Structures are given as structure tokens and as C-alpha cells.
Structure 1
Amino acid sequence: MKRLVAGMALVALAWPAFGQSGGGFTDVLGNWSRDDGNARVVIAPCGKALCATNTWIRDPASGEKVGDRLEMKLQPTGAKAWKGTAYDPQRHRTYVMTMSLGGKLQTRGCILGGLLCSSVSWTRLR
């Protein structure tokens, strides 16, 4: 989950924003595979947030496990781009997060005031 959190690395979000074009999240909902091939997640609404939940982990010894989730509270910053916070309830840690969708889903999560950051690319699963 550490890498998911860092990757998905996530300001309250109103429910109607999920369906809005441009600022909404409709295009990011669904199943994604981390480009290193070590994890798969489903991104779906969860209350007033957007959650990324692990559905498959190559090596559970890494500390990640199926069912771990990241709760993202994001606001649009542009066309198919968002910024906000992500909370990892398994580790009780909050990250500053950006997410953008072009050909792939790109995520970046930071802690310690932006001193420690990680970026991850995700490919949509069909």
C-alpha cells in the first residue's frame, strides 16, 4: 500500500462532482494497473471521497495487501487534473496528492511538506 499511497499520492469533494465533465472523475473510475506490474486497483466513489482499493498485489510481503485503500479528496485544477489530499487508513498517514489523466493516469504523492514525493503511472485495464 505504501507504493499505492505514494503513487496515488489526495478538501472535501461534493458528490455531484463525480459526474461533471472536465472537473469530474468519471474518466478515472474503473480498474487500473500500476505500470511496474506490482499492483492493480479499482477507483470508485466512497462517500464524499474517491477511493483506490487494491484488488491484486504481486507480492503481499511488500506490505501491501488486497483490500487496502486510499481515500482521496481532490479538487479540479484543470482539464483532467486534480489536487488535494489522500488518507491511508491502514497507516494513518495523509499525503498531498496530484492526479492527471492523459494517455495514462499519473499520480504524485508527497509527505513532509513536499520533501519526499513519489510518482506513479497507471494503465487502464479493460
Structure 2
Amino acid sequence: MISVLLASGYAGMAHAADYDGEWARGDGKARVLVAPCGSDICATNTWIKPGTPKEKKGDRLVMTIKRDADGVYSGSAFDPQRDMTYKLTLTVNGNSMTTKGCVVAGLICKGVDWTKIADTAKNGL
């Protein structure tokens, strides 16, 4: 499951948002690229450790989020591969990010830690 991320108006921004870029999941089994996709933000799997069940390269999570405070974003995320929508909170602190996704009216939640490995602004993406 892609457990990720984010948004605060891309239009007219001279610099990338703090969540833009490529992130490695804390368990070492996945990497995602977080970037704009239309009016939303997408987290797309760029690498999945072989043998990781239920995930594949190219899977995408579409996020509709807004900034609540410095480095904190909230909203929802849609996983088209599983046809599921999650309540999402994303917290970014430098090169560290934590995502928390909840289903079933917020009763079942899972948090995931991430480490930034690349910045889309620096890579020209």
C-alpha cells in the first residue's frame, strides 16, 4: 500500500513544497516520488523491493491535502489500485516525513516514516 502524502497550492510557487521529491520508506521496501498531478498531489512508487506483496512500481496514491501548519498537511488520499480512500495526515521535518492514513471513520490507522532521498526541484522534474 502506498502510504504517503500532501499539498499547498503549486500555482505561482517559485520553490518546491517541502514534501516534493523522492522518499524512501522506513522499512526499506519502497521509494515514492511525490509531485503534482493535475490539481492534486501524487505519490508514485518508483521502486519496490522484490518480493513485497501487493505493491508494484508505478502504483499511485492521489492526495488532496492542504497545509494546516508549518510542515503539517491533512486531507484525503485515494488509492485507485485498491479503490480505497484514506483520511491522511502528513508531517514533514527537514528530510524526514511521517504519513498517517486512516480508514473506517478513523478507527484503523497506520503510520509510516520516510526519509527524503531526492528533491524534484534539484532534479529538474
If asked which structure has higher relative contact order (CA below 8 Å, sep 6+), I would say: 1
In structure 2, the gaps of 5 or more residues are 119-125
RMSD over aligned Cα atoms: 2.2
Deviation for aligned residue 1:14:
4.8
4+ residue runs over 4 A deviation: 12-15
Q: Deviations over 1:30-63 (max 9, x none)?
A: 1100010000000000000000000000135511
Confirm or deny: 8 A CA contact 1:81 1:100 kept in the other structure.
Answer: yes
Unaligned runs of 5+ in 1: none
Aligned to 1:109: 101
CA distance in 2, matches of 1:55, 1:26: 19
Percent identity for Structure 1 against Structure 2:
41
**Match of 2:105, SS?**
helix
Q: Distance in 1 between matches of 2:25 and 2:81?
A: 20
Name the one with the larger helix percent.
Answer: 1
TM-score normalised by structure 2 residue count = 0.84
Q: Report how many residues are paired.
A: 117
2:48, 2:29 → 1: CA distance? 6
